[in-house]
């Protein structure tokens, strides 16, 4: 066979095999037997080995898995992976609809999708080829599991069709069918290996294996529930999902477009029963506003989209015995009572502990030691006690009393007016609070210091090497190497990562300080209003509450934090270590000249990146949108602007500003 003939045959085999994969794994309509499929794969593999110049990472032969990798790299999500707010009854679903209608005046349609129980994945395609697959991670960054995802046959390695963006991302759920799960556990038991608790754990665990050959053997599946791009063809979520089925993606045929809330409730009721007949585990229904422009208008909270919500089906409930109650102290000093239970199997896993939330919850349940209690998993994740069977109660059982002093440092607990939790006020000297604040400080969304985790922080604390997070910057490698589980390389990496944290931007440093009630969003707001730590330290109550989203409780907490000399000493030490306490390095003009403007960015730019322009718009009071609608104020149009956006802008009469016109508008030379 001539090389040219081999190339033609290889390409024909690849197309034919991918079409069979699509029919088998996506449409469940196989045309050939497994034996015939194996013959095609073997022929392709033989030709690729004989003519290596024609080998491609997109070939179906590459799905069998590669050699073991030593670690997963992490990358940022282009589109953050937000979590969903949960509802548990019809009234809450209708409240979501009512909230939505307060913002959206046009007719609202919803898509309803079953919430499959697996591991979330984000897969990026560039120029028609699978480029990178990331796990959810913390929502901003995820682990690169591309090699493992390539082994999943329902995920196309390359796509073809009409109107495919040059760069797009699909979101989906990696799932393990129940039949595969049962077979896998049967094999593990034969090999004296521990069984997986449920298909979700098995899918998530498999996805993070370092050997993609094992991943390939486990027959995972992927169900796609979203497509994201700056250049989407359609203006609705439903139409975009239907479109990508033609590109080869497996979109569940259970998705439905609903015209009103009654149809949504009907969908929920139908699948509460019928979902049990599906090959995959499900735990609820995801309800999304269908129109993308409406999604943009509704926007996001710090954690969740306002245009989507998850309805969770009632969790499994079991009865077990309450053995004791212990009290845990968190990094903010909040006291959480925890019920210790006789072990019981619940939703596929063994439960020994459950949250009791606070003193009010204990009083509401009228809990006594030895009670037989009903336990369920809130959202099928966190176990909680939901009731007591009083018929089992012994008269001698002692009533559970909430503690009055911190079990760690002995300080009298306090409970502020209007708050449900008790907390220990000895925040600078209470061990779990100290360690908790250090763990928060080093976390990925804060200072992002690699090599340090809960166990290492505890090790450093118990060896008197750290008492505040400022102490981290005084550590030396020779102090770490004598400790258990820390060798020279690990010690060097920890010290290097601590040093690198000096590049973390000001708003994340504010979040890392662990000021009570100051989360990620509030920290960004404070950094935008007070450009350096010194101006924030001297800010008055009135100046703080004048800032949007800063209420009296947050303002009081900030003032209290900076009134403590020990906190100011920690900040002084961090400043000397090179930590950024100023936003002055950000040369981005700010103001309110774009207040009330909704702006769509499209195309390629010379003077700033797209992400920089998004930040410029936000810092000048404007709002970014990804799709063109009647509410769009104007389009910031770069070179090679998307044709679909241009057509819609012309149709709606929406002005388009080029890069120079936009910069002149905001006063930037």
Q: How far apart are CA 409 and CA 545, in angstroms?
A: 34
Residues 259 and 23: their CA atoms lie apart, in Å, by 31
Question: 336 forms bridges with which residues in the sheet?
Answer: 328
Task: Specify whether the CB–CB gap between 371 and 322 falls below 8 A.
Answer: yes
35 Cα distance to chain centroid: 41
What kind and span of H or E run contains 274?
Answer: helix 261-274
* 553 part of the active site: no
Q: What share of the chain is helix, strand, coil (3-state, %, to 5)?
A: 40, 20, 40
Phi and psi for 488 in degrees, rounded to 5?
-65, -40
Q: Cα 119 to the chain's mean position, in Å?
A: 11
Counting Cβ atoms within 10 Å, is residue 157 exposed (0-12), middle (13-18) or buried (19+)? buried
> Helix (H, G, I), strand (E, B), or coil: what is residue 90?
helix
The active-site residue out of 69, 102, 115, 435 is: 115
| Euclidean distance between CA atoms 85 and 304, whole angstroms | 6
Taking CA atoms, 294 is separated from 87, 107, 620, in Å, by 21, 10, 22
Least Cα distance to 508 among 52, 138, 235 occurs for 138
Q: Which residues pair with residue 634 across a beta bridge?
A: 599
Bin 42: left if φ > 0, else alpha if -120 < ψ < 50, else beta: alpha
Q: Which residues of 424-439 are buried (b: 16+ CB within 10 A; e: fewer)?
A: bebbeebbbbbbbbbb
DSSP assignment of 316-355, as one string?
Answer: PEEEEEEEEEEEEE-TT-BEEEEEEEEEEEETTEEEEEEE
Asked if 647 and 653 count as a contact pair (C-beta separation under 8 A), the reply is no
d(CA 220, CA 206) in angstroms, rounded, equals: 9
Residues with a catalytic annotation lie at 115
């Amino acid at each position: 066979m001539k090389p040219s003939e081999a190339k033609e045959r290889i390409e024909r085999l690849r197309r034919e095999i991918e079409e069979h994969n699509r029919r088998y794994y996506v449409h469940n309509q196989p045309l050939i037997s497994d034996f015939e499929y194996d013959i095609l794969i073997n022929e392709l593999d033989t030709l690729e080995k004989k003519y290596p110049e024609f080998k491609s990472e997109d070939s179906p032969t590459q799905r069998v898995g590669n050699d073991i990798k030593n670690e997963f790299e992490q990358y940022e999500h282009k589109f953050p992976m937000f979590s969903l707010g949960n509802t548990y009854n019809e009234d809450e679903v209708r409240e979501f609809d009512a909230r939505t209608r307060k913002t959206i005046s046009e007719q609202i349609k919803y898509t309803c999708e079953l919430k499959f129980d697996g591991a979330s994945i984000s897969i990026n395609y560039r120029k028609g080829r699978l480029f990178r697959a990331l796990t959810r991670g913390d929502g901003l960054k995820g682990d690169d599991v591309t090699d493992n995802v390539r082994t999943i046959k329902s995920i196309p390695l390359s796509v073809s069709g009409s109107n495919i963006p040059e760069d797009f991302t699909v979101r989906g759920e990696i799932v393990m069918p129940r039949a595969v799960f049962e077979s896998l556990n049967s094999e593990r038991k034969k090999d004296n290996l521990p069984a997986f608790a449920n298909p979700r754990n098995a899918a998530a665990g498999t996805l993070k294996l370092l050997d993609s050959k094992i991943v390939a053997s486990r027959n995972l599946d992927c169900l796609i529930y979203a497509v994201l791009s700056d250049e989407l063809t359609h203006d609705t979520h439903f139409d975009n999902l239907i479109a990508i089925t033609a590109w080869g993606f497996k979109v569940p045929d259970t998705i439905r477009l609903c015209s009103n809330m009654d149809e949504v409730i009907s969908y929920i009721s139908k699948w509460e029963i019928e979902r049990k007949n599906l090959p995959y585990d499900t735990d609820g229904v995801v309800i999304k506003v269908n129109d993308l422009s409406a999604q943009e208008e509704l926007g996001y909270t710090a954690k969740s989209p306002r245009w989507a919500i998850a309805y969770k089906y009632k969790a499994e409930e079991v009865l077990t015995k309450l053995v004791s109650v212990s009290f845990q102290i968190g990094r903010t000093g909040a006291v959480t009572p925890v019920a210790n239970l006789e072990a019981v199997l619940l939703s596929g896993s063994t439960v020994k502990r459950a949250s009791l939330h606070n003193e009010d919850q204990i009083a509401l349940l009228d809990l006594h030691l030895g009670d037989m209690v009903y336990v369920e998993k809130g959202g099928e994740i966190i176990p909680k006690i939901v009731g007591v069977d009083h018929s089992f109660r012994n008269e001698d059982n002692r009533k559970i009393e909430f503690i009055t002093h911190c079990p760690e440092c002995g300080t009298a607990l306090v409970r502020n007016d209007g708050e449900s939790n008790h907390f220990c006020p000895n925040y600078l000297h209470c061990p779990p609070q100290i360690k908790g604040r250090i763990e928060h400080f080093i976390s990925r969304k804060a200072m992002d210091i690699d090599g340090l985790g809960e166990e290492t922080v505890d090790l450093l604390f118990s060896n008197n090497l750290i008492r505040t997070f400022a102490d981290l910057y005084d550590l030396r490698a020779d102090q770490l190497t004598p400790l258990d589980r820390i060798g020279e390389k690990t010690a060097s990496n920890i010290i290097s990562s601590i040093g690198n944290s000096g590049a973390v931007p000001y708003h994340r440093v504010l979040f890392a300080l662990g000021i009570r009630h100051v989360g990620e969003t509030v920290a960004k707001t404070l950094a935008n209003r007070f450009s350096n730590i010194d101006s924030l330290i001297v800010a008055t109550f009135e100046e703080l509450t004048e800032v949007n989203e800063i209420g009296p409780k947050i303002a009081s907490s900030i003032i209290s934090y900076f009134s403590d000399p020990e906190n100011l000493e920690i900040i002084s030490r961090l400043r000397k270590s090179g930590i950024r306490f100023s936003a002055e390095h950000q040369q981005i003009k700010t103001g309110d000249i774009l207040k009330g403007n909704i702006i769509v960015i499209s195309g390629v730019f010379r003077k700033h990146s797209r992400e920089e322009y998004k930040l410029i718009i936000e810092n000048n009071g404007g709002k970014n949108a990804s799709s063109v609608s009647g509410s769009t104020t104007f389009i910031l149009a770069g070179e090679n602007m998307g044709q679909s956006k241009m057509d819609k802008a012309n149709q709606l009469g929406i002005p388009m500003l080029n890069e120079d016109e936009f910069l002149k508008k905001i006063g930037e030379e």
